[in-house]
Structure 1
Amino acid sequence: MTTAVVTGASSGIGAATARRLAGAGYHVFLAARRHDRIEELAAEIGGTAVATDVTSEESVAALAEAVGPTLDVLVNNAGGAFGSSPVSEAATEDWRRMYEVNVIGLMQVTRALLPALVASGAGAIVNVGSTAGRVAYEGGAGYTAAKHGTKVVTETLRLELFDQPVRVMEIAPGMVRTDEFALVRFDGDAEKAAAVYRGVAEPLVAEDIADAVTWMVTRPAHVNIDELVIRPRAQAAQHKVHRVTD
Protein backbone atom coordinates (compact mmCIF):
# COMPACT_ATOMS: atom_id res chain seq x y z
CA MET A 1 0.00 0.00 0.00
CA THR A 2 1.35 3.40 -0.99
CA THR A 3 0.76 6.13 1.55
CA ALA A 4 0.66 9.92 1.57
CA VAL A 5 0.34 12.65 4.17
CA VAL A 6 -1.34 15.92 3.24
CA THR A 7 -1.21 18.75 5.77
CA GLY A 8 -3.83 21.48 5.74
CA ALA A 9 -6.20 18.87 4.33
CA SER A 10 -9.45 20.30 5.71
CA SER A 11 -10.19 22.59 2.75
CA GLY A 12 -8.94 24.13 -0.48
CA ILE A 13 -5.78 22.79 -2.08
CA GLY A 14 -5.19 20.32 0.73
CA ALA A 15 -8.60 18.68 0.47
CA ALA A 16 -8.42 18.59 -3.33
CA THR A 17 -4.96 17.03 -3.20
CA ALA A 18 -6.09 14.38 -0.74
CA ARG A 19 -8.95 13.44 -3.06
CA ARG A 20 -6.70 13.30 -6.12
CA LEU A 21 -4.03 11.21 -4.41
CA ALA A 22 -6.66 8.81 -3.11
CA GLY A 23 -7.93 8.49 -6.67
CA ALA A 24 -4.38 7.63 -7.74
CA GLY A 25 -4.28 4.74 -5.29
CA TYR A 26 -2.70 6.27 -2.19
CA HIS A 27 -3.93 5.75 1.34
CA VAL A 28 -4.00 9.36 2.52
CA PHE A 29 -3.41 10.57 6.05
CA LEU A 30 -5.30 13.85 6.32
CA ALA A 31 -3.66 16.23 8.77
CA ALA A 32 -5.39 19.44 9.89
CA ARG A 33 -6.67 21.16 13.00
CA ARG A 34 -10.37 20.92 12.09
CA HIS A 35 -10.94 17.28 12.93
CA ASP A 36 -14.61 17.25 11.95
CA ARG A 37 -13.78 18.25 8.38
CA ILE A 38 -10.97 15.76 7.87
CA GLU A 39 -13.06 12.97 9.44
CA GLU A 40 -15.74 13.61 6.83
CA LEU A 41 -13.20 13.69 3.99
CA ALA A 42 -11.44 10.58 5.27
CA ALA A 43 -14.74 8.71 5.21
CA GLU A 44 -15.31 9.90 1.63
CA ILE A 45 -11.92 8.80 0.27
CA GLY A 46 -11.07 5.88 2.56
CA GLY A 47 -8.24 7.76 4.27
CA THR A 48 -7.18 8.37 7.86
CA ALA A 49 -7.89 11.62 9.70
CA VAL A 50 -5.25 12.80 12.17
CA ALA A 51 -5.98 16.04 14.03
CA THR A 52 -2.75 17.99 13.65
CA ASP A 53 -1.43 21.44 14.45
CA VAL A 54 1.79 21.71 12.44
CA THR A 55 3.09 24.43 14.77
CA SER A 56 3.03 22.02 17.75
CA GLU A 57 5.90 19.54 18.09
CA GLU A 58 3.73 17.24 20.22
CA SER A 59 0.93 17.23 17.66
CA VAL A 60 3.36 16.53 14.81
CA ALA A 61 4.93 13.69 16.80
CA ALA A 62 1.48 12.14 17.14
CA LEU A 63 1.03 12.41 13.36
CA ALA A 64 4.32 10.58 12.78
CA GLU A 65 3.22 7.87 15.20
CA ALA A 66 -0.06 7.44 13.33
CA VAL A 67 1.70 7.19 9.95
CA GLY A 68 4.09 4.47 11.06
CA PRO A 69 7.53 3.35 9.85
CA THR A 70 7.22 4.06 6.13
CA LEU A 71 5.71 6.84 4.01
CA ASP A 72 5.78 7.39 0.26
CA VAL A 73 4.61 10.99 -0.15
CA LEU A 74 4.48 14.09 2.03
CA VAL A 75 2.61 17.17 0.81
CA ASN A 76 3.40 20.12 3.08
CA ASN A 77 0.37 22.19 2.19
CA ALA A 78 -0.50 23.82 5.53
CA GLY A 79 0.10 27.55 5.24
CA GLY A 80 -1.65 30.86 5.10
CA ALA A 81 -1.51 34.61 4.68
CA PHE A 82 -2.69 36.87 7.49
CA GLY A 83 -3.16 40.57 6.84
CA SER A 84 -2.04 42.88 4.05
CA SER A 85 -0.63 45.87 5.90
CA PRO A 86 2.52 47.70 4.80
CA VAL A 87 5.62 47.08 6.89
CA SER A 88 5.10 50.42 8.65
CA GLU A 89 1.77 49.17 10.02
CA ALA A 90 2.51 45.46 10.31
CA ALA A 91 0.99 43.40 13.10
CA THR A 92 3.77 41.41 14.75
CA GLU A 93 1.43 38.55 15.62
CA ASP A 94 0.32 38.16 11.99
CA TRP A 95 3.93 37.91 10.83
CA ARG A 96 4.75 35.44 13.60
CA ARG A 97 1.77 33.24 12.68
CA MET A 98 2.78 33.23 9.01
CA TYR A 99 6.35 32.22 9.78
CA GLU A 100 5.20 29.58 12.26
CA VAL A 101 2.91 27.80 9.82
CA ASN A 102 4.69 28.36 6.49
CA VAL A 103 8.25 27.69 7.69
CA ILE A 104 8.47 26.26 11.22
CA GLY A 105 5.48 24.00 10.71
CA LEU A 106 6.84 22.74 7.40
CA MET A 107 10.18 21.99 9.07
CA GLN A 108 8.61 20.16 12.01
CA VAL A 109 6.45 17.92 9.83
CA THR A 110 9.32 17.17 7.45
CA ARG A 111 11.72 16.41 10.29
CA ALA A 112 9.26 14.06 11.96
CA LEU A 113 8.34 12.14 8.81
CA LEU A 114 11.71 12.07 7.07
CA PRO A 115 12.80 8.71 8.54
CA ALA A 116 9.62 7.10 7.17
CA LEU A 117 10.15 8.72 3.76
CA VAL A 118 13.71 7.40 3.60
CA ALA A 119 12.56 3.97 4.76
CA SER A 120 10.14 3.74 1.83
CA GLY A 121 13.11 3.68 -0.54
CA ALA A 122 11.53 6.22 -2.88
CA GLY A 123 9.98 9.02 -0.84
CA ALA A 124 8.69 12.28 -2.26
CA ILE A 125 8.19 15.64 -0.56
CA VAL A 126 6.16 18.40 -2.19
CA ASN A 127 6.18 21.75 -0.42
CA VAL A 128 3.36 24.07 -1.45
CA GLY A 129 4.97 27.46 -1.89
CA SER A 130 3.69 30.42 -3.86
CA THR A 131 4.65 32.87 -6.56
CA ALA A 132 4.80 35.20 -3.53
CA GLY A 133 7.97 33.29 -2.68
CA ARG A 134 9.58 34.73 -5.78
CA VAL A 135 8.24 38.28 -6.18
CA ALA A 136 7.70 41.08 -3.66
CA TYR A 137 4.61 43.28 -3.71
CA GLU A 138 3.24 46.08 -1.59
CA GLY A 139 1.31 44.94 1.45
CA GLY A 140 2.66 41.44 1.20
CA ALA A 141 5.98 41.58 3.04
CA GLY A 142 5.01 39.17 5.82
CA TYR A 143 3.60 36.56 3.46
CA THR A 144 6.29 36.95 0.79
CA ALA A 145 8.98 36.63 3.46
CA ALA A 146 7.39 33.44 4.76
CA LYS A 147 6.97 31.93 1.31
CA HIS A 148 10.52 32.87 0.37
CA GLY A 149 11.34 30.84 3.49
CA THR A 150 9.39 27.88 2.13
CA LYS A 151 11.34 28.09 -1.11
CA VAL A 152 14.76 28.26 0.55
CA VAL A 153 13.99 25.46 3.01
CA THR A 154 13.04 23.30 0.01
CA GLU A 155 16.27 24.12 -1.82
CA THR A 156 18.37 23.45 1.28
CA LEU A 157 16.63 20.16 2.02
CA ARG A 158 17.30 18.97 -1.54
CA LEU A 159 21.01 19.63 -1.04
CA GLU A 160 21.05 17.88 2.32
CA LEU A 161 19.24 14.79 0.98
CA PHE A 162 21.11 14.52 -2.33
CA ASP A 163 22.34 11.00 -1.47
CA GLN A 164 19.06 9.77 0.03
CA PRO A 165 16.13 8.08 -1.76
CA VAL A 166 13.86 11.10 -1.30
CA ARG A 167 12.80 13.64 -3.93
CA VAL A 168 12.31 17.23 -2.74
CA MET A 169 9.99 19.42 -4.80
CA GLU A 170 8.07 22.68 -4.61
CA ILE A 171 4.92 23.79 -6.38
CA ALA A 172 4.45 27.57 -6.49
CA PRO A 173 0.89 28.56 -7.43
CA GLY A 174 -0.16 32.02 -8.50
CA MET A 175 -3.78 33.15 -8.32
CA VAL A 176 -5.90 30.28 -6.97
CA ARG A 177 -9.51 30.86 -6.01
CA THR A 178 -10.49 28.80 -2.98
CA ASP A 179 -13.25 29.18 -0.42
CA GLU A 180 -11.08 30.42 2.42
CA PHE A 181 -7.61 31.75 1.50
CA ALA A 182 -8.51 35.36 0.71
CA LEU A 183 -11.18 35.47 3.44
CA VAL A 184 -8.61 34.46 6.04
CA ARG A 185 -6.09 36.96 4.73
CA PHE A 186 -8.58 39.82 4.99
CA ASP A 187 -9.94 38.71 8.37
CA GLY A 188 -13.31 37.64 6.99
CA ASP A 189 -13.93 40.74 4.84
CA ALA A 190 -15.85 39.19 1.95
CA GLU A 191 -15.69 42.33 -0.19
CA LYS A 192 -11.90 42.53 -0.04
CA ALA A 193 -11.62 38.80 -0.66
CA ALA A 194 -13.87 38.98 -3.71
CA ALA A 195 -11.88 41.92 -5.11
CA VAL A 196 -8.81 39.73 -5.48
CA TYR A 197 -10.53 37.70 -8.20
CA ARG A 198 -12.90 40.33 -9.60
CA GLY A 199 -12.92 40.33 -13.39
CA VAL A 200 -10.72 37.24 -13.68
CA ALA A 201 -12.85 34.81 -15.63
CA GLU A 202 -10.71 31.74 -14.96
CA PRO A 203 -8.36 31.83 -11.99
CA LEU A 204 -6.80 28.55 -10.98
CA VAL A 205 -8.84 26.37 -8.63
CA ALA A 206 -7.72 23.89 -5.99
CA GLU A 207 -8.20 20.95 -8.33
CA ASP A 208 -5.65 22.40 -10.76
CA ILE A 209 -2.99 22.37 -8.05
CA ALA A 210 -4.00 18.91 -6.86
CA ASP A 211 -3.66 17.59 -10.40
CA ALA A 212 -0.17 19.08 -10.71
CA VAL A 213 0.97 17.74 -7.32
CA THR A 214 -0.22 14.27 -8.21
CA TRP A 215 1.66 14.44 -11.51
CA MET A 216 4.83 15.48 -9.68
CA VAL A 217 4.81 12.63 -7.18
CA THR A 218 3.87 9.99 -9.74
CA ARG A 219 6.88 10.63 -12.00
CA PRO A 220 9.50 7.85 -11.92
CA ALA A 221 11.56 7.86 -8.74
CA HIS A 222 14.65 9.21 -10.53
CA VAL A 223 12.76 12.28 -11.81
CA ASN A 224 12.78 15.32 -9.49
CA ILE A 225 10.56 18.28 -10.39
CA ASP A 226 12.64 20.86 -8.51
CA GLU A 227 9.99 23.56 -8.80
CA LEU A 228 6.79 24.02 -10.72
CA VAL A 229 5.44 27.56 -11.03
CA ILE A 230 1.79 27.47 -12.05
CA ARG A 231 -0.48 30.41 -12.81
CA PRO A 232 -3.77 30.99 -14.60
CA ARG A 233 -3.35 32.17 -18.18
CA ALA A 234 -4.80 35.55 -17.14
CA GLN A 235 -1.94 36.19 -14.70
CA ALA A 236 1.29 37.05 -16.52
CA ALA A 237 2.91 38.23 -13.27
CA GLN A 238 1.93 39.26 -9.75
CA HIS A 239 0.91 42.74 -10.96
CA LYS A 240 -0.14 41.82 -14.51
CA VAL A 241 -3.60 40.25 -14.46
CA HIS A 242 -6.15 40.41 -17.23
CA ARG A 243 -9.50 41.49 -15.80
CA VAL A 244 -12.72 41.81 -17.74
CA THR A 245 -14.83 44.80 -16.76
CA ASP A 246 -18.54 45.21 -17.43
Structure 2
Amino acid sequence: MKRKKRLVIFNLVLSSFLFVFRIILLIVTIQYFTNNRVGVVHSLEVPPRIFEQFTIQIFPLLLYLLLSIAMAINERRKRQSSDISGISHLVYKGSPDVEDYLNVRKITGLSEKSEKGAKLGLKNTVCAISIYHDYNLIGMGRIIGDKGCFYQIVDVAVDPNYQGQGFGKLIMNELTTYLDENAPNGAYVSLIADEPADKLYEKYGFKYTYPASHGMYKLSQRSEEV
Protein backbone atom coordinates (compact mmCIF):
# COMPACT_ATOMS: atom_id res chain seq x y z
CA MET A 1 0.00 0.00 0.00
CA LYS A 2 2.79 2.43 0.87
CA ARG A 3 4.55 1.65 -2.43
CA LYS A 4 1.42 2.53 -4.40
CA LYS A 5 0.93 5.80 -2.51
CA ARG A 6 4.53 6.77 -3.22
CA LEU A 7 3.97 6.15 -6.94
CA VAL A 8 0.90 8.40 -6.92
CA ILE A 9 2.79 11.19 -5.16
CA PHE A 10 5.76 10.82 -7.54
CA ASN A 11 3.51 11.12 -10.60
CA LEU A 12 1.83 14.23 -9.19
CA VAL A 13 5.14 15.91 -8.35
CA LEU A 14 6.69 15.01 -11.72
CA SER A 15 3.67 16.27 -13.66
CA SER A 16 3.59 19.52 -11.68
CA PHE A 17 7.32 20.12 -12.17
CA LEU A 18 7.19 19.45 -15.90
CA PHE A 19 4.18 21.72 -16.32
CA VAL A 20 5.77 24.65 -14.44
CA PHE A 21 9.13 24.21 -16.18
CA ARG A 22 7.41 24.08 -19.56
CA ILE A 23 5.58 27.36 -18.88
CA ILE A 24 8.84 29.04 -17.76
CA LEU A 25 10.65 27.92 -20.91
CA LEU A 26 7.78 29.12 -23.08
CA ILE A 27 7.85 32.56 -21.46
CA VAL A 28 11.65 32.82 -21.78
CA THR A 29 11.51 31.77 -25.44
CA ILE A 30 8.80 34.30 -26.27
CA GLN A 31 10.69 37.07 -24.48
CA TYR A 32 13.91 36.24 -26.28
CA PHE A 33 12.47 36.31 -29.79
CA THR A 34 10.48 39.43 -28.99
CA ASN A 35 13.64 41.22 -27.87
CA ASN A 36 15.62 39.80 -30.77
CA ARG A 37 13.10 41.14 -33.26
CA VAL A 38 13.40 44.72 -31.96
CA GLY A 39 17.19 44.59 -31.95
CA VAL A 40 17.88 44.34 -28.20
CA VAL A 41 19.95 41.20 -28.26
CA HIS A 42 22.03 41.58 -31.38
CA SER A 43 24.50 44.40 -31.63
CA LEU A 44 25.09 46.00 -35.01
CA GLU A 45 28.70 46.69 -34.19
CA VAL A 46 29.69 43.22 -33.06
CA PRO A 47 27.75 40.46 -34.92
CA PRO A 48 27.47 37.21 -32.94
CA ARG A 49 29.32 34.19 -34.18
CA ILE A 50 27.32 31.51 -35.95
CA PHE A 51 27.76 28.92 -33.21
CA GLU A 52 26.73 31.34 -30.48
CA GLN A 53 23.71 32.44 -32.49
CA PHE A 54 22.68 28.84 -33.06
CA THR A 55 23.06 28.03 -29.34
CA ILE A 56 21.09 31.05 -28.20
CA GLN A 57 18.25 30.70 -30.69
CA ILE A 58 17.90 26.96 -31.15
CA PHE A 59 18.76 25.55 -27.71
CA PRO A 60 15.63 26.92 -25.96
CA LEU A 61 13.47 25.43 -28.70
CA LEU A 62 15.19 22.04 -28.48
CA LEU A 63 14.83 22.04 -24.71
CA TYR A 64 11.17 22.95 -25.03
CA LEU A 65 10.64 20.16 -27.57
CA LEU A 66 12.35 17.54 -25.38
CA LEU A 67 10.30 18.63 -22.39
CA SER A 68 7.10 18.35 -24.40
CA ILE A 69 8.04 14.82 -25.46
CA ALA A 70 8.78 13.87 -21.84
CA MET A 71 5.39 15.17 -20.73
CA ALA A 72 3.64 13.27 -23.53
CA ILE A 73 5.38 10.02 -22.57
CA ASN A 74 4.48 10.52 -18.91
CA GLU A 75 0.82 11.18 -19.74
CA ARG A 76 0.69 8.15 -22.03
CA ARG A 77 2.15 5.93 -19.30
CA LYS A 78 -0.44 7.12 -16.80
CA ARG A 79 -3.28 6.53 -19.25
CA GLN A 80 -2.04 3.03 -19.98
CA SER A 81 -1.78 2.15 -16.29
CA SER A 82 -5.41 3.17 -15.70
CA ASP A 83 -7.00 1.84 -18.87
CA ILE A 84 -9.04 -1.23 -17.98
CA SER A 85 -9.14 -2.27 -21.63
CA GLY A 86 -5.37 -2.71 -21.56
CA ILE A 87 -5.35 -6.02 -19.72
CA SER A 88 -1.57 -6.36 -19.77
CA HIS A 89 -1.24 -3.13 -17.80
CA LEU A 90 -3.53 -4.42 -15.04
CA VAL A 91 -1.85 -7.71 -14.30
CA TYR A 92 0.36 -7.78 -11.25
CA LYS A 93 1.72 -11.24 -10.61
CA GLY A 94 2.11 -11.93 -6.92
CA SER A 95 0.09 -11.84 -3.75
CA PRO A 96 -1.79 -8.61 -3.00
CA ASP A 97 -1.12 -6.44 0.03
CA VAL A 98 -2.75 -7.69 3.23
CA GLU A 99 -5.03 -4.66 3.52
CA ASP A 100 -6.17 -4.97 -0.09
CA TYR A 101 -6.68 -8.71 0.28
CA LEU A 102 -8.92 -8.34 3.33
CA ASN A 103 -10.91 -5.56 1.70
CA VAL A 104 -11.66 -7.48 -1.51
CA ARG A 105 -12.74 -10.54 0.45
CA LYS A 106 -15.15 -8.34 2.40
CA ILE A 107 -16.73 -6.48 -0.53
CA THR A 108 -17.13 -9.66 -2.59
CA GLY A 109 -18.92 -11.55 0.18
CA LEU A 110 -16.15 -14.00 1.04
CA SER A 111 -15.64 -14.92 4.67
CA GLU A 112 -13.53 -12.35 6.53
CA LYS A 113 -10.08 -13.35 7.76
CA SER A 114 -7.90 -11.98 10.53
CA GLU A 115 -4.92 -9.82 9.65
CA LYS A 116 -2.59 -12.36 11.26
CA GLY A 117 -4.08 -15.19 9.22
CA ALA A 118 -3.90 -13.16 6.01
CA LYS A 119 -0.22 -12.39 6.51
CA LEU A 120 0.64 -16.05 7.05
CA GLY A 121 -1.58 -17.26 4.23
CA LEU A 122 -0.31 -14.84 1.62
CA LYS A 123 3.26 -15.62 2.59
CA ASN A 124 2.74 -19.31 1.86
CA THR A 125 1.05 -18.84 -1.51
CA VAL A 126 2.16 -21.15 -4.32
CA CYS A 127 0.98 -18.86 -7.10
CA ALA A 128 -1.08 -15.66 -7.12
CA ILE A 129 -2.41 -13.05 -9.49
CA SER A 130 -3.64 -9.61 -8.48
CA ILE A 131 -5.32 -7.11 -10.78
CA TYR A 132 -5.08 -3.42 -9.95
CA HIS A 133 -6.85 -0.42 -11.47
CA ASP A 134 -5.89 3.09 -10.34
CA TYR A 135 -3.82 1.44 -7.60
CA ASN A 136 -6.90 -0.34 -6.20
CA LEU A 137 -7.14 -4.12 -6.07
CA ILE A 138 -10.12 -5.15 -8.21
CA GLY A 139 -9.49 -8.88 -8.66
CA MET A 140 -7.35 -11.70 -7.33
CA GLY A 141 -6.83 -15.43 -7.20
CA ARG A 142 -4.37 -17.78 -5.50
CA ILE A 143 -3.11 -21.35 -5.54
CA ILE A 144 -2.09 -23.06 -2.32
CA GLY A 145 -0.85 -26.60 -1.71
CA ASP A 146 2.18 -28.83 -1.23
CA LYS A 147 3.55 -28.20 -4.76
CA GLY A 148 3.47 -31.91 -5.51
CA CYS A 149 0.34 -33.95 -4.89
CA PHE A 150 -2.33 -31.43 -3.94
CA TYR A 151 -3.24 -27.94 -5.08
CA GLN A 152 -6.26 -25.80 -4.27
CA ILE A 153 -7.48 -22.68 -6.05
CA VAL A 154 -8.73 -20.10 -3.55
CA ASP A 155 -9.58 -16.41 -3.22
CA VAL A 156 -10.91 -16.04 -6.76
CA ALA A 157 -12.76 -12.75 -6.43
CA VAL A 158 -13.55 -9.66 -8.51
CA ASP A 159 -14.78 -6.31 -7.21
CA PRO A 160 -18.57 -6.06 -7.94
CA ASN A 161 -17.97 -2.82 -9.88
CA TYR A 162 -15.71 -4.69 -12.32
CA GLN A 163 -17.57 -7.96 -12.71
CA GLY A 164 -18.74 -9.05 -16.14
CA GLN A 165 -15.68 -7.62 -17.89
CA GLY A 166 -13.65 -10.81 -18.22
CA PHE A 167 -11.43 -10.44 -15.16
CA GLY A 168 -12.58 -13.76 -13.73
CA LYS A 169 -11.46 -15.51 -16.91
CA LEU A 170 -8.16 -13.66 -16.82
CA ILE A 171 -7.52 -14.85 -13.28
CA MET A 172 -8.40 -18.46 -14.09
CA ASN A 173 -6.26 -18.38 -17.26
CA GLU A 174 -3.21 -17.35 -15.23
CA LEU A 175 -3.79 -19.89 -12.46
CA THR A 176 -4.52 -22.84 -14.72
CA THR A 177 -1.54 -21.95 -16.92
CA TYR A 178 0.69 -22.16 -13.87
CA LEU A 179 -0.78 -25.58 -12.98
CA ASP A 180 -0.38 -26.88 -16.54
CA GLU A 181 3.27 -25.88 -16.52
CA ASN A 182 4.24 -26.84 -12.97
CA ALA A 183 1.92 -29.41 -11.39
CA PRO A 184 3.27 -33.00 -11.60
CA ASN A 185 1.27 -35.61 -13.48
CA GLY A 186 -1.65 -36.86 -11.39
CA ALA A 187 -1.71 -33.89 -8.99
CA TYR A 188 -5.14 -33.30 -7.46
CA VAL A 189 -6.44 -29.76 -8.02
CA SER A 190 -9.56 -28.71 -6.15
CA LEU A 191 -11.65 -25.62 -5.44
CA ILE A 192 -14.92 -24.60 -3.79
CA ALA A 193 -17.36 -23.38 -6.43
CA ASP A 194 -20.20 -20.97 -5.65
CA GLU A 195 -23.01 -20.43 -8.14
CA PRO A 196 -22.87 -19.12 -10.83
CA ALA A 197 -19.04 -19.22 -10.84
CA ASP A 198 -19.19 -23.02 -11.08
CA LYS A 199 -20.09 -22.66 -14.76
CA LEU A 200 -16.85 -20.75 -15.34
CA TYR A 201 -14.79 -23.42 -13.60
CA GLU A 202 -16.37 -26.14 -15.75
CA LYS A 203 -14.84 -24.49 -18.80
CA TYR A 204 -11.40 -25.14 -17.28
CA GLY A 205 -12.01 -28.86 -16.82
CA PHE A 206 -13.26 -28.92 -13.20
CA LYS A 207 -15.94 -31.47 -12.35
CA TYR A 208 -18.39 -31.83 -9.49
CA THR A 209 -17.43 -34.32 -6.78
CA TYR A 210 -21.08 -34.81 -5.86
CA PRO A 211 -22.65 -37.38 -5.55
CA ALA A 212 -19.55 -39.55 -5.29
CA SER A 213 -18.21 -37.34 -2.51
CA HIS A 214 -19.12 -34.24 -0.54
CA GLY A 215 -17.01 -31.22 0.25
CA MET A 216 -16.59 -30.61 3.98
CA TYR A 217 -15.01 -27.83 6.03
CA LYS A 218 -14.29 -26.65 9.55
CA LEU A 219 -13.43 -23.14 10.71
CA SER A 220 -10.81 -22.64 13.40
CA GLN A 221 -12.30 -21.16 16.56
CA ARG A 222 -9.03 -20.52 18.38
CA SER A 223 -8.87 -17.00 19.79
CA GLU A 224 -6.07 -14.76 18.56
CA GLU A 225 -3.23 -14.09 20.97
CA VAL A 226 -3.07 -10.51 22.19
TM-score range, shorter chain: under 0.3
* TM-score, with length taken from structure 1: 0.26
Structure that is richer in helix per residue:
2
Higher Cα radius of gyration: 2
- Indicate the structure whose relative CO is greater, using CA pairs within 8 Å and at least 6 residues apart: 1
* TM-score, with length taken from structure 2: 0.28
